[in-house]
Amino acid sequence: MLWACIALPQLALDGVLRRRADAGPLVLVAGTGHARSIVAANAAAREAGLRVGQRLSAAQALLAQFEALPYQPERVDQWHRFLAAVAYRYSAEVSLLPHAIVLEVSRSLNLFGSWPRLESLLRADLDALGFRHRISAAPTPHAAHVLAGVADGQAVLTDEQLRHALQRIPLAQSRLPAAAAEALPGMGIRTLGQLLALPRDGLRRRFGAELLLALDRLTGAAPAGLEAYRPPDRFDLRIELTHEVEAIGALVFPLRRMTSDLSAYLAGRDGGVQRFTLQLEHREGHTEVKVGLLAPEREAGMLFELARARLEQVQLPQPVIAMRLLARDLPAFVPAGRDLFDERPANALPIEQLRERLRARLGDRAVHQLGSTTDPRPELAQKVTAHDDGWQEPSPRPTWLFERPIPLRGAAPRILAGPERLETGWWDGGEVCRDYYVVETAQGQRGWAFCAPGERDGWMLHGWFA
């Protein structure tokens, strides 16, 4: 077993900062009234002297201009779960620990390569999503959690190395039950190595079974006892904008974040999305923008481009204060394969993406194919479909067909072929009884025209042999 731990030291702050383009001083505050104090501060704020734990009033005395946002625990929880969904891409065993995610990766290494490679993949994902992180690996999840708390990038791959690595960990960073971690240094026990060397009976008498269980979980002598994370079957992401937005252009930056989050989430589930909804929330009510695709997709750039094209057609009735992305049905995603001997240029846009791009601007029905039906009536002989049976019509058919026949005026045309009598449709009210001819007009155009059976008059033109 090998567990990776992703510690998220600034989850609350990153969740807020990642959707901002500017980087002015910003703090998160918790508490009420005069007791409001800082729980997180970004780099610009720390530079100005603001610290975590400081009263908001003290901070205001230090710095005139900074942004103070309320700390929202439920939002932090939402990001925590979102990142677990992203990590689910790399392992089927993912669990949540306080401010951290652990995932079992020993089997994932077969697919992704060695641990350093997997580690760099995880880091690339988290960097792209804008979350600061510390990553470590150890044979037990709790040990990985402890190691990630001590330093970034530690990898302990065997039990032997683990015993060795735990020796020097100070008790203050060992994440053991608080009562024991506080009392033991007073007894001269300062590192995990010293603690593990003590007789277990004595520890049980003094600190109860809780400490022993925690130690056993750390070393792997007891099962980790973690609840496995399961990604939800729907994606729901809502972000509040910092100010009221009246122009669509200002929604593009948050939209890019949201669609790339959706893409990361879909990659974690190995799924795609075929329909999603953007809700633009106003002070009263909201505007819905529906985005539909022909086939499930999950590529971030494509989702963004399509959502943007739909968004740009929207007229805002009121300013937008928040945006929400909802995806309910998440079907399986089948990536498009590419042939080794593909004749397309290397940077070609796949035809599916081209279709989506055209549909996004020209309308859902803008791109179609025609196929034939078994009906002999020219008006009904073809329809919009992807299916085509390949039936060969023995009589001449034009290459351009009119949607409805038009009268052929002027001098009587020269007849080149015909007649071909079509007499059908009496069963459904659309009865047709016509003699079709191939004709040539005085200008040299070749047409497909018909007149009433047996007559050579009252020509109706139905298509061109172009």
Partner 1 sequence: MAAVMPLSNLLDARRVWRGRAEPLPAGEQPTGWAALDAVLPSGGWPAAALSEILLPLDGVGELQLVLPTLARLSQGARAVVLVAPPYLPCVAGWRQHGVDMRRIEIVSATEADVLWATEQCLRSGSCAAVLAWPRQADDRALRRLQVAADGGRALAFAFRDRQHLSNASPAALRLELEARPQARVWVRKCRGGALPAQPVALPRALH
- Which chain residues interact with partner 1 by CB under 8 A? 339, 342-345, 347-351, 353-355, 357-358, 361-363, 365-372, 378, 381-382, 386, 388, 390-393, 396-403, 416-417, 438, 441, 443-447, 463-466
To partner 1, the closest distance from the beta carbon of 302 in angstroms equals 13
Of 21 and 346, nearer to partner 1 (C-beta) is 346
Q: DSSP string of 393-408?
A: PSS---SEEEEEEEE-
Integer Cα distance of 18 and 132 in angstroms: 10
Q: Name the strand (E) or helix (H) holding 286.
A: strand 286-297
Integer Cα distance of 391 and 243 in angstroms: 61
Please say whether the beta carbons of 139 and 158 come within 8 A: yes
Integer Cα distance of 211 and 310 in angstroms: 57
Please say whether the beta carbons of 8 and 48 come within 8 A: no
Of 227 and 403, nearer to partner 1 (C-beta) is 403
Of 159 and 379, nearer to partner 1 (C-beta) is 379
Of 110 and 369, nearer to partner 1 (C-beta) is 369
Exposed (0-12), middle (13-18) or buried (19+): which is 212, by Cβ within 10 Å? middle
Q: Do β-strands 26-30 and 67-70 pair in parallel, antiparallel, or remain unpaired?
A: parallel
Residues contacting 376, CB < 8 A, separation 6+: 422, 424
To partner 1, the closest distance from the beta carbon of 290 in angstroms equals 21
To partner 1, the closest distance from the beta carbon of 148 in angstroms equals 45
Of 119 and 356, nearer to partner 1 (C-beta) is 356
To partner 1, the closest distance from the beta carbon of 357 in angstroms equals 6
Q: Which amino acid is at 365?
A: R
For residue 419, cis peptide bond before it (omega within 30 degrees of 0): yes
To partner 1, the closest distance from the beta carbon of 86 in angstroms equals 31
Of 112 and 465, nearer to partner 1 (C-beta) is 465
Residues contacting 204, CB < 8 A, separation 6+: 211, 212
Q: How far is CA 293 from CA 86, 214, 264, 277, 329, in A?
A: 23, 50, 18, 12, 12
To partner 1, the closest distance from the beta carbon of 445 in angstroms equals 4
Of 246 and 342, nearer to partner 1 (C-beta) is 342
Integer Cα distance of 335 and 258 in angstroms: 22
To partner 1, the closest distance from the beta carbon of 386 in angstroms equals 7
Of 124 and 362, nearer to partner 1 (C-beta) is 362
To partner 1, the closest distance from the beta carbon of 121 in angstroms equals 29
Of 172 and 354, nearer to partner 1 (C-beta) is 354
Of 391 and 426, nearer to partner 1 (C-beta) is 391
Integer Cα distance of 325 and 92 in angstroms: 26
To partner 1, the closest distance from the beta carbon of 457 in angstroms equals 21
To partner 1, the closest distance from the beta carbon of 401 in angstroms equals 4
Integer Cα distance of 116 and 155 in angstroms: 9
To partner 1, the closest distance from the beta carbon of 364 in angstroms equals 11
**Dihedral-angle region of residue 340 (phi above 0 means left; psi in -120 to 50 means alpha; beta otherwise):** alpha
Of 389 and 457, nearer to partner 1 (C-beta) is 389
Dihedral sign from CA coordinates of 343, 344, 350, 352: negative
Where would I find the beta strands (DSSP E) of 71-205? 94-97, 100-104, 134-138
